[in-house]
């Protein structure tokens, strides 16, 4: 059974159909990429999955249960965490505390526990602190733990955002353009990191990217969106050679040219 399943999901903004009848099946422990040119509806799809937008038609199932009517808080508690394309950390709070906020649902002490059961409360906090530090070390930003999040360099902020999402102990991690604004070397490192995340934390990863070259090496399945519609899906190789994908990315002329080029080489052979 697919971990996440979108069935004929549609979202309209006024007359604009941002996401149109999209079906998506994310298999457990896979790295699944959604690619498409700018404005293809990728981020809208993420906002639908995390509950910030309501679907107009269709349904979204997580572990077989419909989640499209739940609030973002409850969807997060079901085990879906995400990062943003434009980083959204809690800037005035320390790096460590950003991660601790990610652990919110896993800590039990509420308003009265710190007063009535001080020892238990301290134990729990100590463990949370330890775990948060481990996560930061894992992401390679341990030495920044006591800085304000907004004072981190850009690349480190991205890593912190992923660390904060991991603190939720999600089953599904949604990454919205995790390499935006990075140079080729950083991009490569990040992609390697994403692959490691899947293996070390046993999570499923759904990734948005507009640059299709970036995801080709690490993705198990690639879904291509264009103008809100799914135009192609399959392994990276299948997608790469799909004429509709080339057309969406490079325009109709390029697609025919490519098709002619391939057919002429075929004839040449």
Partner 1 sequence: MWERLRYRLRYVSGTDVALWIVAALLLVMITVGSYNSLTSGRYTGKQWFDFIISGLAQGSIYALIALGYTMVYGILFMINFAHGEVFMSGPFTAYFLAEVLEQRGLFETNPWLALGLVMLLSMAVSTVVAVSLERIAYRPLRGAPRLVPLITAIGASFFLQYTFRGLYTPGFKAYPEVQPLKGTWTLFGLEIQRMLIAVFVSSLLLLLLLYAFVQFTKVGRAIRAVAEDQQAAALMGVDVDRTISITFAVGGAAAGAAGVFYALMFRQVNFFMGFFPGLKAFTAAVLGGIGNLPGAMLGGLFLGVFESLGPSLFLEGLGVPAAYQLKDAIAFTMLVLFLIFRPTGILGERLAKRA
d(CA 139, CA 158): 10
Nearer to partner 1, 105 or 262 (CB): 105
Q: Does 168 bind partner 1 (CB under 8 A)?
A: yes
Contact at 8 Å (CB) between 134 and 150? Answer: no
Shortest Å, Cβ 60 to partner 1: 16
What does the per-residue mask of binding to partner 1 show for 188-227, with x meaning CB under 8 A?
A: ----------------------------------------
Nearer to partner 1, 46 or 221 (CB): 46
Q: Does 93 bind partner 1 (CB under 8 A)?
A: yes
Nearer to partner 1, 130 or 252 (CB): 130
Shortest Å, Cβ 159 to partner 1: 16
Q: Does 52 bind partner 1 (CB under 8 A)?
A: yes
- For partner 1, how many residues bind (rule: CB under 8 A)? 31
Who contacts 132 (Cβ-Cβ below 8 Å, separation ≥6)?
96, 99, 100, 103, 145, 167
Q: Does 145 bind partner 1 (CB under 8 A)?
A: no
Shortest Å, Cβ 253 to partner 1: 41
Q: Does 72 bind partner 1 (CB under 8 A)?
A: yes
* Choice from 53, 90, 201, 249 touching partner 1 (CB under 8 A): 90
Shortest Å, Cβ 108 to partner 1: 8
* Choice from 28, 114, 142, 234 touching partner 1 (CB under 8 A): 114
Contact at 8 Å (CB) between 124 and 133? Answer: no
| Binding site residues, partner 1, CB under 8 A | 50, 52, 71-73, 76-77, 81-82, 84, 88-93, 97, 100-102, 104-105, 107, 109-111, 114, 121, 125, 164, 168
């Amino acid at each position: 059974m697919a971990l996440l399943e979108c069935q004929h999901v549609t979202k309209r903004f006024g007359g604009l159909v941002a996401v149109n009848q999209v079906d998506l099946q994310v298999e457990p422990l896979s790295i699944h990429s959604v690619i498409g040119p700018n404005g293809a509806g990728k981020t809208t799809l993420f906002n639908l999955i995390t509950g910030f937008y309501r679907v107009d038609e269709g349904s979204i199932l997580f572990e077989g249960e419909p989640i499209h009517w739940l609030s973002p808080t409850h969807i997060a508690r079901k085990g879906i965490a995400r990062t943003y394309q434009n980083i959204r950390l809690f800037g005035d709070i320390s790096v460590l505390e950003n991660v601790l906020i990610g652990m919110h649902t896993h800590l039990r002490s509420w308003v009265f526990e710190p007063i009535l059961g001080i020892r238990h409360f301290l134990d729990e906090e100590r463990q949370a602190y330890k775990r948060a530090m481990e996560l930061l070390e894992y992401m390679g930003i341990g030495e920044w733990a006591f800085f304000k999040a907004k004072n981190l360099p850009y690349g480190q902020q991205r890593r912190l955002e992923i660390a904060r999402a991991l603190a939720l102990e999600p089953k599904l991690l949604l990454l919205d353009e995790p390499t935006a604004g990075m140079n080729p070397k950083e991009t490569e490192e990040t992609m390697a990191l994403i692959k490691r995340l899947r293996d070390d934390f046993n999570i499923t990863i759904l990734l948005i990217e507009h640059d299709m070259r970036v995801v080709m090496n690490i993705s198990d399945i690639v879904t291509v969106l264009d103008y809100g519609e799914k135009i192609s899906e399959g392994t990276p190789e299948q997608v790469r050679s799909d004429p509709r994908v080339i057309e969406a990315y490079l325009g109709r002329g390029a697609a025919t040219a490519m098709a002619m080029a391939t057919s002429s080489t075929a004839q040449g052979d």
